[in-house]
Chain A
Amino acid sequence: ETGVTQTPRHLVMGMTNKKSLKCEQHLGHNAMYWYKQSAKKPLELMFVYNFKEQTENNSVPSRFSPECPNSSHLFLHLHTLQPEDSALYLCASSQVPPSGQVVYEQYFGPGTRLTVT
């Protein structure tokens, strides 16, 4: 595998289900991100992990719970979602230098298309 992979690619879940989205990056990066892309809205940053530590939680409801066990894997645990949570969920990774003074590009996975019924 190369780049950033995401599974599953498509997910349909009821509002009472619990599911998890998985992301894996094969680029040796040290930062990973979750984004939400809904129709008619710009890409929204949800969570950021630098060196496995969560450094950003962009006012995301608690029904979304991220987990980053190591710098290559990122999960998004979902429970009791609402229909308005239906969207494309994109994972990305990048290299953040220790000094933090330079911003490098993020590389994205193909996304998980989530439908909440």
Chain B
Amino acid sequence: AQKVTQAQTEISVVEKEDVTLDCVYETRDTTYYLFWYKQPPSGELVFLIRRNSFDEQNEISGRYSWNFQKSTSSFNFTITASQVVDSAVYFCALSESPKGGSEKLVFGKGTKLTVNP
């Protein structure tokens, strides 16, 4: 069965600090997809990144970077030089490759990040 664990429930940092959000996943499939979403106070989940299980290259997008390590089943997310606007709940999610049926996203419980000025 699929499972996503985000052990950090809440993190509080001061602006300009770097912060890493942890995500550990469980799956028996060799083909799967990992995602990160951001949910600001407005409520809408904003897609950040999608990564498939065959692509272990780390990715950087501006102040955001992702570290995918299959050996430890982790897909961690780092925000460099955090800003107040980064304050949100961040969700990690996993989808196994669909087998003739519909795709299912399984979400972690989320990490609430507060960036203080």
Contact = CB atoms under 8 A, between A and B. Distances in A.
Dominant SS among interface residues on chain B: loop
Contact of A103 (B33, B44, B47): B33
Contacts of B109: 41-42
A113 B44 CA distance: 11
Nearest to B44: A110
Interface stretch (A18-26, A64-72, A73-81, A93-101): A93-101
A56 B102 contact: yes
Interface string A12-51: 0000000000000000000100000000011101001010
Interface residues of B, number: 25
Nearest to B31: A101
Contacts of B33: 103
B45 interface: yes
A105 interface: yes
Report the contact-size class of chain A (Cβ under 8 Å from the partner).
20 to 34
Contacts of A100: 98, 100-101, 103
Nearest to A112: B43
A104 B44 contact: no
Interface in A82-116: 88, 90, 92, 94, 96, 100-111, 113
A58 B91 CA distance: 20
Interface of B: 33, 35, 37, 42-47, 50, 52, 91, 95, 97-98, 100-105, 107-110
